[in-house]
Amino acid sequence: MALIMIIIGSDHGGFKLKGELKNFLEEKGKTVIDCGVFNEESVDYPDIAQLVCNRLFEKKASFAVLICGTGIGISIAANKIKGIRAALICNEFSAKMASEHNNANVVCFGGRTTNFDSAAKMLDVFMTSKFQGGRHQARVDKIMSIGECNNEKTR
Ligand code: RB5
């Protein structure tokens, strides 16, 4: 079986769920690199998103898991980083699609919106689903070619 390395990180809002998901992954035999946080002191989630995504590329890991209170801020931050396709997962169907259609390399959860049992099921579905390529590859290629930053204020 191929060695699966997963990078994980959270802000204070995702600290508890991060620990639970880390144990879950290790019990499944995965190698997990934990980028913190290591306590519930308040931190800024964009810093964690950058740290984890940089580590994902450095280690050539399979994918990364990012958790903040809602999963929203940390997924927005991660998606600003070149090469990242971060998916905020809220049910098992979206977990499957994030893999099969979007070839996500980061999955995000909300530590204050999702309990461990649900998150573990979603992560399992994500890990056991495969990118389907074909027309989805062409769409993913289009996503990856979007590089212009529009700083216009929209709201
Ligand atoms: C931190 O209080 C909270 O804003 C953060 O965890 C996250 O939910 C942001 O989207």
**Domains observed in the chain:** 5-154 (3.40.1400.10)
Report in angstroms the alpha-carbon separations of 25 from 5, 7, 37, 56, 128: 10, 11, 17, 16, 13
Known catalytic residue: 101?
yes
Ligand 1 center–CA 1 separation, angstroms: 37
Lining residues, ligand 1, CB within 6 Å: 11, 13, 45, 68-70, 72-73
Kindly report the protein residue whose alpha carbon is nearest to atom 5 of ligand 1.
Answer: 69
**From CA 69, how far away is CA 59, in angstroms rounded?**
26
Instruction: Please list, in sequence order, all residues whose beta carbon lies within 8 angstroms of the beta carbon of residue 20, skipping any fewer than 6 positions away.
Output: 116, 119, 120
DSSP string, 96-131: HHHHHTT--SEEEEETTT--HHHHHHHHHHHHH---
User: Which tens digit of pLDDT belongs to each residue from 47-97?
Assistant: 999 999 999 999 999 999 999 999 999 999 999 999 999 999 999 999 999
Question: What is the value of pTM for the model shown?
Answer: 0.95
Peptide bond into 37 cis (omega under 30): yes
Atom of ligand 1 nearest to the CA of 110: 8
| Rounded distance from Cα 41 to ligand 1 centre (Å) | 13
The burial of 151, by beta-carbon neighbours within 10 Å (0-12 exposed, 13-18 middle, 19 or more buried), is given as: exposed
Say if residues 6 and 25 touch (Cβ distance below 8 Å).
Answer: yes
Instruction: Give me 34's structure tokens.
Output: 């934990």
The atom number, within ligand 1, closest to the CA of 14 reads 6
Indicate if the pLDDT at residue 153 is higher than 90: no
* pLDDT tens, position by position, 111-136: 999 999 999 999 999 999 999 999 99
For residue 42, how many other CB atoms are within 10 A of its CB? Answer: 8
Check 28, 30, 101, 136 and give the catalytic one.
Answer: 101
Asked whether residue 1 carries a pLDDT value surpassing 50, the answer given is: no
pLDDT category, 35, cuts 50, 70, 90? very high
Q: Whose CA is closest to atom 10 on ligand 1?
A: 73
